[in-house]
Amino acid sequence: MPILKLLKYALIAACLSVGAAPGVDAQTPTQKQMAENSMARGVAMAQRKQWPLAIKYFKAAFQATPTDPRVLFNLGLAHDRAGGRSLVAAAWYRAFLIAAPEAGNSAKVQKRVVDLEIETESQIARLLQTAQTIASQVSGKGKTTVLDRIARAHAENGDIASAQQASQSIKNAGRQSAWSQALIAALQARSGLFDQAASLAKSIRSRPAQAWALAEIAVLNAGKGDFAAALALVENVRGREGAWALSRIASLQAQANDSEGARATLKKIAKSQPGLRLVVLAHLAAALGSTGQPWHIDQAKTHLEEIMTEANKVKNFKAKLDVYLQVIKARLSLTDVAGAEAVQRLVTSEPHKTAGLRAIAESNKQFKTAELYRWSGLALQMANSAQLGNLAQLLTQAKLQAPEKGALSIAKIAEKSARMLRQFRQP
């Protein structure tokens, strides 16, 4: 797909703009002008092949016009050309295709999405093979560290057999691969092998790795409605992992109309975790209002106001945004769109902002827009956690390092890439 043709499309696509996002205030003339200025700067930087700067300006335009096909396409193009951002680009392209399915270049863009996905999968395989080859030159504890990371990458990639093989190599050397075993256990649970997963998790000697694995498996159990098994798994899990698992279990209980069970689980969450507790209370408020009785709806709205008051006192910024997002969803479940929009205006950072807009769009039955926000939100999330940079360059640098350090660097890139690919392929 020639760059000049794509840039020409970016410059002439104003007619495709769909304006401000549903569920937010209409754009002011000043906001529209700021968006156009950002677009113009982004295109100018793209023409100079200054891709990081182009991304910066296109992101600024996205904040003002998050459903504008021009912006979404240009974000895909800039990440694509910047290198090391294949799946981020693919997610932006997916958002563009939803916003402008009849665009003249839609078939080419769709093909590029498929190519980027295949390219990423192929890269992961090459990275793991390279890491394994270099690892053969390493011995002792250093080799254990490298093999553990390789096993983790295989687990993130959904390859239980290869992950277990790498983990077994460590075990045969008389060592332990705690975090790779934790990831394998989580992968087994995602595949429905709950008994095997729980057994493996309980055998892990590292307390942090074991706590993480048990929490993940417990929440997956709760997701299929087995709350007793979920609570049993986290009974002895302490700290943040235990509190997180309990909050998710309680929230799922509330969604299943088991308010009594949710309150009982809520009592187990330490008061030192106010954000997690407030998320559960928001779910309980939504469950109360779901009866449809006017007095219950009024009571639920009052509870949500109290929750917002407490949320504003939460010091952890991400925890506060988690509460805001759940309050938005709870208010939408009560058909209080105005109340949800008022809370949405308090959310100023990603990925929470896009998640809130997606929830509002779904409530308004604007499913196409909601799907667009799904992909743009994923693109923003992956961009924040991605291993950015030219892959060939990264591999060259890694090979120039000592074998242990080089293999570890490559395996880490593979693990991050595999995690992103799994997120991209989730239904």
> Which tens digit of pLDDT belongs to each residue from 31-75?
788 889 999 999 999 999 999 999 999 999 998 889 999 999 999
219 confidence band (pLDDT: 50, 70, 90):
very high
Which amino acid is residue 232, in one-letter code?
A: A
Instruction: Identify whether 75 is part of a domain.
Output: yes
CATH number at residue 46: 1.25.40.10
The arithmetic mean of pLDDT across residues 356-372, rounded, is 96
Q: Is the confidence at residue 314, as pLDDT, over 90?
A: yes
Q: Is the confidence at residue 23, as pLDDT, over 60?
A: no
- When mean pLDDT is compared across 147-161, 210-224, 227-241, 337-351, the lowest value belongs to 147-161
Q: What is the DSSP letter of 287?
A: H
Q: Is the confidence at residue 101, as pLDDT, over 60?
A: yes
Instruction: Identify whether 325 is part of a domain.
Output: no
Q: Is the confidence at residue 393, as pLDDT, over 80?
A: no
Mind listing the pLDDT tens digit for each residue in 156-182? 888 888 888 888 887 765 566 788 899
Instruction: Identify whether 74 is part of a domain.
Output: yes
Query: How many structural domains compose the chain?
Result: 1
Interior/surface letters 329-338, b for 16+ CB within 10 angstroms, e for the rest: bbbbbbebee
- What pLDDT score does 386 carry? 60
397 confidence band (pLDDT: 50, 70, 90):
confident
390 confidence band (pLDDT: 50, 70, 90):
low
* Residue 376 or 135, more confident: 376
Of all residues in the chain, the percent with pLDDT exceeding 90 is 63
Find, among 347, 352, 308, the residue nearest to 330 by Cα: 308
Instruction: Identify whether 133 is part of a domain.
Output: no
Q: Is the confidence at residue 15, as pLDDT, over 50?
A: no
Q: Could you give the CA distance from residue 259 to residue 254 in angstroms, rounded to a whole number? A: 5
Q: Could you give the CA distance from residue 197 to residue 187 in angstroms, rounded to a whole number? A: 8
Instruction: Identify whether 260 is part of a domain.
Output: no
Query: Terminus-to-terminus CA distance in the chain, angstroms?
Result: 28
How high is the mean pLDDT of the chain? 88
The arithmetic mean of pLDDT across residues 366-391, rounded, is 86
Mind listing the pLDDT tens digit for each residue in 174-207? 566 788 899 999 999 999 999 999 999 999 989 9
Q: What is the DSSP letter of 101?
A: T
Contact 183, 163 (CB under 8 A): yes
Q: Is the confidence at residue 341, as pLDDT, over 70?
A: yes
Contact 326, 318 (CB under 8 A): no
**Which residue range forms the structural domain that includes residue 104?**
3-17+28-114
Mind listing the pLDDT tens digit for each residue in 112-122? 999 999 999 99
Instruction: Identify whether 40 is part of a domain.
Output: yes
Query: CA geometry: angle at 194 spanning 189 and 196, to 5°?
Result: 100
Instruction: Identify whether 68 is part of a domain.
Output: yes
* Residue 254 or 397, more confident: 254
Contact 153, 187 (CB under 8 A): no
- What pLDDT score does 22 carry? 40
* Residue 15 or 102, more confident: 102
Q: What is the DSSP letter of 24?
A: S
Q: Is the confidence at residue 25, as pLDDT, over 50?
A: no
Q: Is the confidence at residue 368, as pLDDT, over 50?
A: yes
pTM of the model: 0.86
391 confidence band (pLDDT: 50, 70, 90):
low
- What pLDDT score does 178 carry? 84
Instruction: Identify whether 60 is part of a domain.
Output: yes
Helices 274-289, 259-266: axis angle to 10 degrees equals 170
Q: Which of 153-167, 353-367, 413-427 has the highest mean pLDDT?
A: 353-367
Radius of gyration of the chain (CA): 24
